[in-house]
Amino acid sequence: MTSITDTRATGSNPSYVLTYTYLNGGDAFPHLTGVVNNISSGESYTLAYGSNLALTSPFTSTAFGTATVLQTVSMSGLNISHSLTYGLGTGELTQVTMPAGGTLAWTYRTIYVQLQSGGAGDRTADALYPGRDQ
């Protein structure tokens, strides 16, 4: 992503300035860590990451490294944030907690398909559970 255009913007300047940061030496690509607007509406966003989430294949349980995952998106001006939670091992997004405490949660399952050349597995979101944190 290189720019965001807001319909409230006037002039030819980009509506938002994006900040990318290399979070650790192993990053192949920088991560989006900030978004500030140029339209004088006051909001800006900070994206915070957690690192070293160990990953394993949901099909074979083989370990294959670690991941840096988005953990929080905070919006200044309104002083609110969204928190993201991931499954241990697979790194699949399992829950998003909204600023007022509501949640969206996912479960996953593996679907196996028998092909003429052999079997193949596919990982899919099995269910979405809207709710409220207790």
Q: Which of 63-72, 87-96, 105-114 bottoms out in mean pLDDT, i.e. has the lowest? A: 105-114
Q: Which residues contact 38 (CB under 8 A, 6 or more apart)?
A: 9, 13, 14, 15, 16, 17
Question: Using one digit for the tens of pLDDT, what is the confidence trace for 108-128?
Answer: 887 777 666 666 667 777 767
> pTM for this structure?
0.76
Six-digit token pair at 88? 């241990």
